[in-house]
A = this chain, B = another copy of it.
C-alpha cells in the first residue's frame, strides 16, 4: 500500500527539518518525568509566571473587567476593583465594537496601535505611525509572518546570530529558506563584530545565496549582551551597504541588569543617523508582553513596527494577517497596558510601580547571583547577563567525560543536560540547540552551554552550581 498523505514519509520536508531545541528532546524527557511524579523546574524557556513570578495587579484587573463587562454595572464593583482600573476597562471597551469577543481589525485594535505609536515616540524621540504597527499573537508569530514575507525559497538567506534563539533557525527551515550564521564572540562578551558580518555575507553570496535580512536580538537571547549604540550604528550601516532588512528582536528591552549599556532601539539609532540611512534602511522591530516585568507569556501578545517599508508591502502583510482574522483581543489590551501603564497621581500608580520594580530588581539581583555562581565554579565561565532572562555558561569537560557521552551515542551537552535533569529535575537546553561555532574544541576540552532560566536560582540556591558540577564533572 502506498503511504498516506499524513504518514511520516509523505509530509512536508521543511516541517521535518525545523528544529526547536527550547522544547526539544530535553523538554520532552522533562515532561515525561513530570508525568511520573518527579518535580521538574523548567528553565528551558523564559516563562516567569510558571516559576512563581506574580502577575501585576493593575493590568489583570483591567483585563478581568473587560472579560466581564457586566461587572461594570454592578454596584459592588468598587469593592473589588479600583476606580482607575474600572475607568481604563471602560475606555478599552468603548474602543472595541463587541468587546473582547469580537474579532478586531486584523492589524489589531486601532486604539492600541495608537498607544504603541505614542510609546515608541516617547521612547525614541521620533514620530511613529500606527499605520505601520501591527499587533500579533506574540512576537514569535510576528517574526514568522515577516520571514514568510521575505523568504521565497532556498536561495534566500537570512543572517542570524549564533548562538541564537532557535525561533529563527526553526522558522527559516520551515519556510524553506537558508540560515546564514554570523558568530558572536564569547570572549568579547558575545560581541558583534562587523568583520564577522562581512565574512558571513561574503561567504553566503559566494555560495549563491541572496542574503536578504539580518536578525539582531537585543538584549541577546540566549547570550544576554546589550548592544551598544556604536555597535547598532555599524549594523545599520552594514545593512544599508549590503541592502538587507534589519529584523530587530527587542522583546527584552526592559530586562536590563546594568547601567553602562542601557537599551537603545534600532529605530532610534537609525533616526539619529539621519538620511540617507534613516530614509532607506528597511527595519522591522518586535516587542512582546511575554517578557519585561509583565511576563504575560500565556496571553500571547506582541507587536511589530515597520520602518521604510513601502505601503504595497504593508498591504500584503495586512492581507496575510487577515487570513487568520485577528490577533487575540485580550492580549492587545495587555499590550496597551504595558506600554501605557498607570501614571503618577493615578490610584494604582504606587502599587504598579512597587510591583514592577520588585520584579525588575529581583531579576537584576538574580542575574548577578547566577553569573557569579557559575564563575565561582571550576571549569565554568559565564559572561555577565547584561539583559534578557538567561545565563549561558560554558563548561569545560575532561576528555573522559566526553568519551562517556560519545559511548552513549549522544552529543556531550545533550548527554549531561539529560543527566542534570534526571539528577535534579532542572530542565535546561543544551547549548548546541542555539548553534555553536563548528569544531569548537580546544585543549581537549569540549565546550558546551546550558540555558538555565535564572529564576531557578531562587529555588535551588548554591546547591544548583555544585549539582551541575557534580553531574558534569564527576
Contact = CB atoms under 8 A, between A and B. Distances in A.
Given A47-B98, A313-B11, A167 B323 contact: yes
Contact of A299 (B243, B298, B322, B330): B330
B328 A12 contact: no
A7 interface: yes
Contacts of A55: 69, 99-101
A345 interface: no
Among A47, A290, A296, A298, find the residue whose CB has the most chain B CB atoms closer than 10 A. Answer: A298
B325 A101 contact: no
A173 B45 CA distance: 33
A329 interface: yes
A106 B299 contact: no
A16 B318 CA distance: 11
Interface in A17-56: 18-20, 22-24, 27, 31, 45, 47-53, 55
Interface of A: 2, 4-8, 10-13, 15-16, 18-20, 22-24, 27, 31, 45, 47-53, 55, 57, 60-61, 63-65, 67-71, 74, 76-77, 79-80, 96-106, 137-138, 140-141, 144, 148-152, 167, 170-171, 174, 212-213, 243-245, 280, 282, 284, 290, 294-300, 306, 309-310, 312-313, 316-317, 319-320, 322-331
Contacts of A48: 98, 101-102
A392 to B, nearest CB: 20
A190 to B, nearest CB: 24
Contacts of A167: 323
A148 B71 CA distance: 42
Contact of A325 (B76, B138, B313, B327): B138
A97 B6 contact: no
Contacts of A213: 5
Nearest to A167: B323
A4 B313 CA distance: 11
A282 B20 contact: no
Contacts of A97: 50
Q: Which of A45, A80, A213 has the most CB of B within 10 A?
A: A80
Contacts of A70: 57, 60
A330 B24 CA distance: 25
A329 B301 CA distance: 11
